[in-house]
Amino acid sequence: MTINRRAVLTGIAAAPAAALAAGAGRASLAAEGAGGTAPVVHAFTLGEARITVLLDGHLPLGTQLFNGYDDARAKEVLAQGLHRLQDDALQIPVNGYLVERGGQKLLIDTGTAQLMGPGLGALGAGLAAAGVAPEAIDTVLLTHIHPDHAGGLIAADGSAVFANAELVAAQREWDFWHDDAILAGVPDSSRGFFDMARRSVAPYADRMRLLQGESEAAPGFTALELPGHTPGHTGFMLDAGGEGLLFWGDLIHSTALQFALPEWTIAFDTDPAQTAETRRRMLDRAAADNLLVTGAHLDFPALGRVLRQGDAYAYQAAPWQFGL
């Protein structure tokens, strides 16, 4: 399924119901990924933490999704790197993370499970390949409640996949998706996002912890407000004993285009102007402070630094075996 504007507005809205009808269960998810995709993981150590990047799969991101898309400008930027367009789409990864630190076993985001079609849904298989059962996860941090981040919270029957985990998200994010007045004002085609968001967090309602602004999300993790993509979109800064890593969620959707063209927001951004402003602020900080960064849609294995390049930025990928 190529994600184009129509699919965003209509296809995904219908996806949760379709997934329920298909009846895929937790067992099949753990065995091979919801879409039959093989597990792909990249593990490295950072200070006292062991971090495993769990690739859920790739989404074809149609170029028409970019606000103000300029084909000539895009091709010029793409020609400088090795990214290629395929059927007017860029392949963007969906990454989640396992962080093991002391006795802590924490996930950041949970992939799509069966919500977004074939070629995705491998995060659970990656976790199994890392030797960790869903029941062993003690904390799940959500950057935001979109289907490619929260979809893996629930099995096809709607039950919680992480039976013993506390679920942590921003209060502002929770409030947005649970606000009936906001829901009443959105187009019918966007209601599926609200339905999916509510359904994915519902079985965790009695073990949710909601974050108020910049605060401790879990031991070693500080939540950073990165609003725009969604109202409560949140980054997490890990302090792994003197070594830091910023998990920035969806600050960048396209590694290929948005470091060079940071004003190019996409159709999923709730507030495009705020998205671009937040992106600039965080990229400036990451470049100035030489931060090690990772993101849900950065090219796998999604670990590197941000370089300032004139008025824009560039991504410097870390060596594959970083920290080993």
Residues found near Zn ion in the complex (CB under 5 A): 148, 250
- Distance in Å, CB of 24 to Zn ion, minimum: 21
- Distance in Å, CB of 296 to Zn ion, minimum: 5
Among residues 323, 226, 314, 242, the alpha carbon closest in space to that of 276 is found at: 226
- Distance in Å, CB of 8 to Zn ion, minimum: 12
Rounded to whole angstroms, how far apart are CA atoms 2 and 89?
7
Whose Cβ is closer to Zn ion: residue 240's or residue 256's?
256
**What SS3 state is found at 41?**
strand
Enter the tokens of residue 171: 């209060």
Rounded to whole angstroms, how far apart are CA atoms 101 and 32?
26
Q: Which residues contact 286 (CB under 8 A, 6 or more apart)?
A: 246, 248, 293, 305, 306
- Distance in Å, CB of 92 to Zn ion, minimum: 8
Query: The sheet that has 244-247: what strands, in order across it?
Result: 215-218, 221-225, 234-239, 244-247, 293-294, 304-309, 312-317
Whose Cβ is closer to Zn ion: residue 16's or residue 220's?
16
Whose Cβ is closer to Zn ion: residue 137's or residue 252's?
252
- Distance in Å, CB of 319 to Zn ion, minimum: 26
Rounded to whole angstroms, how far apart are CA atoms 128 and 132?
5
Residue holding tokens 């809205």? 13
- Distance in Å, CB of 27 to Zn ion, minimum: 26
- Distance in Å, CB of 182 to Zn ion, minimum: 20
Asked if residues 25 and 156 have their Cβ atoms less than 8 Å apart, the reply is: yes
Whose Cβ is closer to Zn ion: residue 173's or residue 250's?
250
Give, for 198, the enclosing helix (H) or strand (E): helix 191-201
Whose Cβ is closer to Zn ion: residue 137's or residue 266's?
266
Rounded to whole angstroms, how far apart are CA atoms 199 and 183?
14
Whose Cβ is closer to Zn ion: residue 250's or residue 269's?
250
Whose Cβ is closer to Zn ion: residue 101's or residue 144's?
144
